[in-house]
Amino acid sequence: MGIEYSLSCPQGGDGTEGDIVSQNAALTARIIEWILQVGDPDIPKLFKLTAAVTSIVPILRAIRKVLDAHPKSKAGITLANSFPTLGFRRLRVAAGKRASLWA
């Protein structure tokens, strides 16, 4: 059994910037840090993010720093279950380099 922490739903607002925790990389990282500091590292935790952002990359990078600081914690991320708009783009990869959102 695990716990899902929904950081993707409007928290008392209409869903605009600031109402959804996971639209803000620093705030998302801070909340995940708090949970991992006090939570049992053996209980799996999933942090649900929103798709209502122009780029998820800065948010993922902030979360990765927190997860790296808690290597014994069973934790991961998941995305929201609806996507108002979705676009794809190709990643440009320099010769010999691996494409990664985490880079």
Provide the whole-model pTM.
0.72
Distance CA 40, CA 38 (A): 7
Tens digit of each residue's pLDDT (9 = 90 or more) over 63-77: 999 999 999 999 999
- Please give the average per-residue pLDDT across 71-99, as a whole number: 68
- Please give the average per-residue pLDDT across 2-27, as a whole number: 77
pLDDT confidence of residue 103: 46
As a whole number of Å, the end-to-end CA separation of the chain is 32
Q: Write down the mean pLDDT value for the chain.
A: 80
pLDDT confidence of residue 96: 59
Contact 84, 50 (CB under 8 A): no
